[in-house]
A and B are shown apart, each in its own frame.
Chain A
Amino acid sequence: MDSLLQLLKQNARFTNQQLAAMLDTTEGAVAEKIKEYENKGIIMGYSVILNDELADKNTVTAFIEIRVTPQRDCGFDDLAKTIMMYDEVESVSLMSGGYDLAVTASGADLKTIALFVAQKLSTIDGVISTATHFVLRRYKEKGIFINQNNNTDERSMVSP
């Protein structure tokens, strides 16, 4: 991956000036490159990594495995597109292995999600079965340790 993208993945809030210094180039060149990545859709947006347990204590997240019957002409795409339209759904991916679509969904509480799966997802034409797994605890998200002291620096504060 391009080194600019790697730096933005580490921290999208680095300023263009800072990025230019790191990469030994100009602010203008960084701005242009970022624009290009945005236009090409390589950079799709900028978002924050939250500790949901602290930001919104009640949110519940579930990981849902869905088995479907692929449809003529469009395979899995149409079903995936239908599922991803729901606001509750955060991500949809087509998987190899024991099931077809992996969906993460979140809601205010367990019941909300359970009803969402029962009433919305499992009733979609082509869906054969669903298996819902609720997230009990998250340990690492986007490379960041959650609910743990990220500062695991064993070194002493000052040394020659």
Chain B
Amino acid sequence: MINYDKILNSTIKNIKPSGIRKFFDIAQKTEGVISLGVGEPDFNTPWAIRQKAIQTIETKKTVYTANAGLEDLRREIAGYVKKRINTEYEPTSEIVVTVGGSEAIDISIRSIVEPGDEVLIVEPCFVCYSPIVQLSGGIPVPIETKVENNFKLKASELKEKITEKTKLLILPFPNNPTGAIMTREDLEEIAEVLRDTQIVVLSDEIYSELTYGRKHCSIVEIDGMKERTVLINGFSKAFAMTGWRLGYMCAPAPLVKQILKLHQFAIMCSPTISQYAAIEALTNCYGEVQKMVSEYNVRRRFVTNGFNRLGLTCFNPEGAFYVFPCIKSTGMSSEKFCEELLYSKKVAVVPGNAFGNSGEGYIRVSYAYSLNHINEALSRIEEFLKEIK
């Protein structure tokens, strides 16, 4: 008999499974659930992009590409990044096309973090950073953002956590799950703290196109930051292309040279069909992105207003497609609230603590749904709140 417990890596065994999993299981089993729980767009991938993929298959462009991705695509990405955040990257040595933003996060952390290194993780945040840091032998050090600061990272909070062992800062804005953004002024303060250190920044900007009222600002735009930053972005959220698994990273050439090795050995190259489709996305589909953003914005205002009216106060989120209402007034924990809501009203939302301890007392509500769907969910939540009073 094989003793599986003995053969498995103890670090992976000790990693807690995602807190979202439990809700996924209950929601999937329950009939008639309406969900505000997903982290992906409800829009279809623009037709021109899908058409391009079909054509790519028809013309038999179904072989490996260069490890770092099609050169045409990297050139388009460089142009797009220049246009959006006014920063130049050299397509052949500073850009890698990855399997979603997720792979870019993974290979960057693993290429940088060594056993004993401390990694500052701004929480609440997407669920993958801490496990990958742990797998690399690093020590995740959460920095908890606060509602009174609109869930932004403050320079003082950052300074407090920096030690001699600090290797990397993970900066995930616009933020999943809070919807918070960092403005240029906010980033200037952060840059001031980092400037004379050796700390590297992993800036996960996958939601960069989804900001409302003001344009996204990247930390690489701030003086002295580009040279220490791995910028991560992708097509999933902006172009509604989650299933295509395509993202990219931009970073200084000496970093890319090493990170690319990991990509080469683990992945070979990102899906070729998706890469061709992504060229189409960047060259012809920006109008579609803007349409989606303006639709999200209407929903954002509707949901924020809805929760505030229900007494679950909700700071004004300026990015991504999430709102993060506070449920402390109900006296319940986040998980209890979500479970009860799911059982009694069949509405699925995600407990805030699934994204870090500082998310306790909050729920993540996605507005990647039609207005009518959101409206129905809001009235069910209203009934729920009346009943638990």
Chain A residues with a Cβ under 8 A of chain B: 3, 7, 10-11, 14, 18, 21-24, 153, 155-160
Chain B interface residue count, Cβ-Cβ cutoff 8 angstroms: 31
B42 at the interface (CB under 8 A from A): yes
Q: Chain B: which residue is nearest A158 at the CB level?
A: B37
A159 touches B375 (CB 8 A): no
B301 at the interface (CB under 8 A from A): yes
A157 touches B127 (CB 8 A): no
B375 touches A155 (CB 8 A): no
A23 touches B298 (CB 8 A): yes
B244 at the interface (CB under 8 A from A): no
A18 touches B38 (CB 8 A): no
Q: Which of B35-49 contact A (CB under 8 A)?
A: 35, 37-40, 42
Which residues of chain A come closer than 8 Å to B176, judged between CB atoms? 160
A21 touches B348 (CB 8 A): no
B238 at the interface (CB under 8 A from A): no
Which residues of chain B come closer than 8 Å to A158, judged between CB atoms? 20, 23-24, 27, 35, 37-38, 348, 350
Which residues of chain B come closer than 8 Å to A11, judged between CB atoms? 371-372, 375
Closest Cβ of chain A: how far from B73's Cβ, in Å?
26
Which residues of chain B come closer than 8 Å to A157, judged between CB atoms? 23-24, 27-28, 33, 35, 37-38, 348
- Kindly list the 10 A-B residue pairs having the minimum CB-CB distance in the complex, ordered from nearest: A21-B305, A157-B27, A158-B37, A158-B24, A157-B35, A22-B302, A22-B298, A160-B127, A159-B39, A158-B23
Interface code B187-212, partner A: CB below 8 Å = 1, 0 otherwise? 00000000000000000000000000
Q: Chain B: which residue is nearest A18 at the CB level?
A: B302
Which residues of chain B come closer than 8 Å to A23, judged between CB atoms? 298, 301
A18 touches B298 (CB 8 A): no
Q: A159-B24, A160-B39 are in contact. List 13 more A-B contacts (CB 8 A).
A: A3-B298, A7-B371, A10-B371, A11-B371, A21-B301, A22-B301, A22-B371, A23-B301, A156-B24, A157-B24, A157-B27, A158-B348, A160-B20
